[in-house]
Amino acid sequence: MDKRAINKFAVAARRQLIQGISLKLGSIGVTDEGVSEKLPSSSNNAEFYTNNAEPVVGKDIERRQQIVKNLRAAAQASDWQSAFSDFVEQTAYTWFNRIVAIRFMEVNDYLPSGVRVLSSIEGRAEPDIMVEARSLEESLGQYTTDERGLIEQAWNTQAPEDMDRLYRMLFLKQVNALSENLPKLFI
DSSP per-residue codes, the chain: --HHHHHHHHHHHHHHHHHHHHHHHHHTTEETTEEPPPPTT--SSEE-SSTTSPPEETHHHHHHHHHHHHHHHHHHHS-HHHHHHHHHHHHHHHHHHHHHHHHHHHHTT-STT---SSS-TT--SS-HHHHTGGGGHHHH----HHHHHHHHHHHHH--HHHHHHHHHHHHHHHHHHHTTT-TTT--
- Rg of the chain in Å (alpha carbons): 18
Instruction: Give residue 140's pLDDT band: very low, low, confident or very high (50, 70, 90).
Output: very high
d(CA 172, CA 22): 19
Residue 9 pLDDT: 87
- Domain range annotation of the chain: 3-106, 112-178
pTM: 0.83
Instruction: Give residue 99's pLDDT band: very low, low, confident or very high (50, 70, 90).
Output: very high
Please say if the pLDDT value at position 53 is more than 80: no
Residue 95 pLDDT: 92
Whats the size of the chain, residue-wise?
Answer: 187
Please say if the pLDDT value at position 21 is more than 70: yes
Q: Which of 33-37, 40-44, 72-76, 80-84 has the lowest mean pLDDT?
A: 40-44
Please say if the pLDDT value at position 1 is more than 70: no
pLDDT in tens, 126-136: 999 999 999 99
